[in-house]
Amino acid sequence: MQKLDTKHDKQYGRVSWTELATIVLVLGQLPSVLLWSFFKSTFTPSKGTHKSWRRNLGDTAFRFVAGAWNIRQLQYCFGTTQQVYEKWARQNGLPVLVDELKGEDARLLWIGPRRTDRVVLYFHGGGYVVPMQDFAASFWNYTRLELGRRHLNVGVAVLNYSIVPTVTFPAQLKQAVKALQYVIASGCKPENIQIVGDSAGGNLALALLAHLLRPVKGVTPISLASEISGVYLMSPWVSLAGGSGSFVTNDSTDVVGASTFAYCGRKVFAGVPDSLHMYLEVGKAPASLFNGVQGIVDRILVTAGGAECLRDDIAEVASRLSVHHGRVRFIVQENGVHNDPFYDFLVGEPKLSDLTPEIVNWLEEGFRPSSSKVEIVTSEVGLDT
């Protein structure tokens, strides 16, 4: 049984014998699924995706596993965020640096050296039900090293927040607030902090922005001395229910299918009061939710994959943000899937996607003092039509 990094949920990742047998069955089927995928990608026209065999196999494996297992099985196989982090850090020759966030049963996990002059604060994805994965840590370590090559040394801190069903929302928001407070108290000014989040982590970043504007009852309010430098949302999970638009058209092309999104959404919403739903599904929230956001964060980047289920809903949220903020940039990666840049690091792809340098460049601009006066307009790049 997995060692836990939570004090409360003793059922985390606990599977029955039947569920364990299903895990073995799925893993036994995986080689034949990958072989068929390789055959199709070799002898079937790519329809403009231009993905290598590595990426095709990696995307196929991720979708197959994510759609076959329930939450307990995923947690059993993937472990916990702290376990993933510690194993990944040791394999990559990096120190294991863990800062406890007292009072909220959360912690910050540092990717590389602990630095508090400039900080990328990362909220990981996983539908609020599974931990951070090692390929996400590899992506942010690559980003850290790339910024270092540009003479910008930054600290990258991962928020190890509690996941469902250990707790329900807004517990994760309380932990995100604590993380931001901790980084600021460590000496990092808000103008030197960039918050990044993918999928559910992007959802959490949006909830934090909304909380900064309209505090959630029972969650500590924050008053910032200055604007946060930037917020980057990679394939943010803005529609927990889904069911229309690109959820239909891209169900067969994304690495996370519409039914998987809906399944996780039902688990996340369970026990959450209706009054808090708008913080989890900002696309269905009042249009005024982010009124005033321009005074909270200097720049916002939103990216989506052209072939992902969430594409249309992400586009709607990016449009809503741009109504209240003049420096929102929106990029749609042509033929990209959910969290597309990460999967290059899952399979060891030597040629990274075109979106990765865009992300690094955007973060670099946010840490350069001279960039604060540069206007960034809403844009769409590579949008499938």
What integer pLDDT is reported at residue 383 of this predicted model? Answer: 42
Beta strands 155-160 and 119-123 are parallel
- Which strands, in side-by-side order, build the sheet including 193-198? 97-101, 106-111, 155-160, 119-123, 193-198, 228-234, 297-305, 328-333
* Residue 292 within any structural domain of the chain: yes
Mean pLDDT for 36-50 is 63
User: 53 in a domain, yes or no?
Assistant: no
| Domain presence at residue 16 | no
Which spans in 236-284 are helix H? Answer: 246-249, 258-269, 277-280
Condensed to tens digits (0 to 9), the pLDDT of residues 296-346 reads: 999 999 999 999 999 999 999 999 999 999 999 999 999 999 999 999 999
Cα separation, 234 vs 222, in Å, equals: 24
**Percentage of the chain lying above the pLDDT 70 cut:** 90
Residue for token pair 């990216």: 303
Encode pLDDT of 122-168 as tens digits: 999 999 999 999 999 999 999 999 999 999 999 999 999 999 988 99
pLDDT number for residue 361: 98
Reported as a single tens digit per residue, the pLDDT across 361-373 is 999 999 987 544 3
- Sort 284 into a burial class: Cβ within 10 Å, 0-12 / 13-18 / 19+: middle
Of residues 47 and 289, the one with the higher pLDDT is: 289
Is the confidence at residue 3, as pLDDT, over 80?
A: no
pLDDT of residue 43: 59
Is 87 a domain residue? yes
* Residues 244-263, mean pLDDT to the nearest whole number: 94
**64 domain-assigned:** no
Which pLDDT score is estimated for 372? 41
> Quick one: angle between helices 258-269 and 53-68, nearest 10?
40
Nearest CA to 113 out of 160, 161, 153 is that of 153
pLDDT of residue 71: 93
The answer to whether the CB of 88 falls within 8 A of the CB of 138 is yes
Q: 3-state class of 156 per DSSP?
A: strand
Say which residues have a Cβ less than 8 Å from residue 324's Cβ, sequence separation at least 6.
Answer: 290, 291, 292, 293, 294
Q: What is the CATH number of the domain that holds 296?
A: 3.40.50.1820
Contact 125, 84 (CB under 8 A): no
Least confident of 10-19, 28-37, 47-56, 132-141: 47-56
- Separation of CA 303 from chain center: 11
Question: How many angstroms from the chain centroid is the CA of residue 39?
Answer: 31
Q: Considering just the CA atoms, what is the radius of gyration of the chain in Å?
A: 20
pLDDT of residue 10: 66
Q: Is residue 161 part of a domain?
A: yes
pLDDT digits (tens, 9 = 90+) for 191-217: 999 999 999 999 999 999 999 999 999
Q: Cα 50 from chain centroid?
A: 24
- Predicted pLDDT at 377: 40
Question: What's the pTM?
Answer: 0.92
> What is the Cα–Cα distance from 171 to 334, expressed in whole angstroms?
35
Residue 51 included in any domain: no
Name the nearest CA neighbour of 119 among 155, 146, 147: 155
| Nearest Cα to Cα of residue 201 among 252, 152, 131 | 131
* Domain limits for position 233: 79-373
Is position 379 within any domain?
Answer: no
Of the two residues 41 and 149, the one the predictor is more confident about is 149
Q: Is the pLDDT of residue 349 over 90?
A: yes
Which residue has better confidence, 381 or 9? 9
In tens, the pLDDT along 87-101 reads 999 999 999 999 999
The residue among 355, 356, 351 whose CA lies nearest residue 331 is 355
Higher pLDDT, 381 or 251: 251
Calpha distance 137→139 (Å, rounded): 5
Q: pLDDT band for position 265 (50/70/90)?
A: very high
The pLDDT assigned to 36 comes to 73
The answer on pLDDT for 49 being more than 70 is no
pLDDT at 53: 84
Overall domain count for the chain: 1
